Amino acid sequence: MKKNSDIKFILLLSFGLFSLNTIAAILPAPPDINAVSYLVKDFNSGRVLAEKNIDQRVEPASLTKMMTTYIVSNEIHEGSINMEEMVLVSEKAWRMEGSRMFIEVGKEVSVEDLLRGVIIQSGNDASVALAEHIAGTEEVFAAIMNQYAARLGMNDTNFVNSTGLPDENHYTTARDLATLAEAIIRDHPDIYEWHSIKEFTFNDIKQPNRNLLLWRDDSVDGIKTGHTENAGYCLVASAKRNDMRVISVVMGTDGMESRARASSSLFGYAFRFFETHKYYSKGEQVTSTAIWKGETDNVELGVENDLWLTIPRGQLKNIQPVVELNQNITVPISMNMVLGNVNLILEDEQLATLSLIALDAVPEGGIIKRIQDEIKLFFQ
């Protein structure tokens, strides 16, 4: 009896009635993180892989300086200021409390040194000096920060200063900080590289980067730490392994070590159990469709933008593209005209729906071709 059962199982495997490829990916629960809020997400696809309270209002502390850095980087990119430009240090900047790069009142410091002081040393004095240089006053700079936040879609954020010193009207969320991190990495990759520098010396004072992960994990290359009594210990970090980049945000832990361990756990979960692929590229042919009365009988279809997917490891082969095309398409066809869509399905989950667009324009065919197609359409 056992022998017959074994034979039946083998036959099932042979005829494809039982396939290991159809077994859904087994994903463990995300790590238990002792933090007020956190998330980990893929940079390219934007998929959030683990989260807790990501829309809860929190105090950003020195993570505020991410926006200061982003604005200064934009000003440099647009040519409004340059790295060699000298900044006169005001008394307000010099008197700033908390972390500092130790600039001196009345002296000039280059934009480059001040920017490194913000990114590496988290200098409150450097942040205020740059804010005043760009906007005249820190208060005006804070208004500019909020304009940038709105432009980036940071809908639950409000800044009142450039440093992150406590104020009841100075707040953000884990989701918004991840959005800002993406913008820094995407829009200013040259300056983003500075976030991996481990120490910076200014005025004969050497200070280390407070991001402990830079010493522990070679794949980590940023971004920013933060701490106040009310905010707790916070860290926005990013790591890249092979072609997969991940961003983590950890808010409100109880120490420097805790925020580093929490971020490492989130990175471990993301890289161990997920993979990211560029599934479609802009301009790549996805399929083609028949057309009527044109110079050609078919037109190639693709997608408008690159599509990145983050999926459980080993599941790429199980994604099913389901194409839906418009019927009886007639010319003229312009480039980028929507002629259908494609749905990407994994198990019972719809991963994405994209419009399929014409990759080329197709004009009318000759009179004979149009008459022939008209007759075919009539009988069809």
Q: Which residues have a catalytic role annotated?
A: 62, 65, 122
Q: Which helix (H) or strand (E) holds 190?
A: helix 189-192
User: What's the DSSP call for residue 29?
Assistant: P
Q: Is 276 helix (H, G, I), strand (E, B) or coil?
A: strand
The DSSP secondary structure of 117-152, one letter per residue, reads: HHHTT--HHHHHHHHHHHHSSHHHHHHHHHHHHHHH
Got the DSSP string for 281-292? -TT---EEEE-B
Distance separating alpha carbons of residues 127 and 184, to the nearest angstrom? 17
Q: Which residues contact 258 (CB under 8 A, 6 or more apart)?
A: 34, 35, 233
Sheet strands (E) in the chain: 37-42, 48-52, 86-88, 108-110, 199-202, 205-208, 220-228, 232-241, 244-253, 274-280, 287-290, 298-302, 307-312, 320-325, 338-346, 349-358
User: Is the preceding omega at residue 332 within 30 degrees of 0, hence cis?
Assistant: yes
The percent helix, strand, coil of the chain (3-state, each to 5) is 35, 30, 35
Q: Which residues have CB under 8 Å from 30's CB, separation 6+?
A: 40, 49, 50, 266, 269
Residues 6 or more apart whose CB falls under 8 angstroms from that of 284 comprise: 302, 303
Contact 81, 134 (CB under 8 A): yes
Cβ–Cβ < 8 Å for 170, 159: yes
- Which phi-psi region, left, alpha or beta, contains residue 66 (left: φ > 0; alpha: ψ -120 to 50)? alpha
3-state SS record for 350-367: EEEEEEEEECCCECECCH
